[in-house]
Amino acid sequence: MAAPESMAAPESVAAPEPATPAQPWTEERVARLVEDAVGRAPAAPDATATVRVCGGVARVDLDLVVEHGAHLPSVAEAVRRRIGVRVGAETGLTVEAVTVTVVDLRLPDGAAPAYDESGADADAWTAT
């Protein structure tokens, strides 16, 4: 007759491996994470981030290059959401604020600027 299950000998369980300590999330690492998250947005191909971390809270200042013709308020809001989700998920930090500054517009390939500085002064000030 077999022994009831409650009387069976306990199986040996191996001790879990100690977890490798996670690298601390420095401000520079969080800034690179922010720049990577923004770079994946189609209307904002280039960004430079400055991050300040205090305790479990991060504040982000972002200089952004945006595709010409994009609706800037929509791009800024989408970038803010993307940063909050990505930084929160990967670092555990709470993103308190994201300040977005559009520093440049990227024109479509082959498009000439609407204003050409090289000849503007000469044409505007020609004496009659």
pLDDT of residue 107: 87
User: Nearest Cα to 31, choosing from 106, 109, 102, 86?
Assistant: 86
Tell me what pLDDT residue 19 has: 44
pLDDT of residue 18: 46
Give the per-residue pLDDT at 101: 94
Q: How many residues does the chain have?
A: 128
Q: What is the pLDDT along the chain (128 residues), one digit of tens a residue?
A: 555 555 555 555 555 554 444 557 889 999 999 999 998 877 888 899 999 999 899 999 999 999 999 999 999 999 999 999 999 999 999 999 999 999 999 888 766 555 556 655 555 555 54
* Partner residues linked to 105 by β-bridges: 66
Structure tokens at 123: 């044409």
Structure confidence at residue 87 (pLDDT): 94
The closest of 101, 106, 59, 98 to 80, measured between CA atoms, is: 98
Q: What is the pLDDT of residue 1?
A: 57
Residue showing tokens 């690298």: 23
Q: What does each C-alpha distance from 86 to 18, 83, 113, 121 come to in angstroms?
A: 27, 5, 35, 48
> What letter would DSSP give residue 48?
E
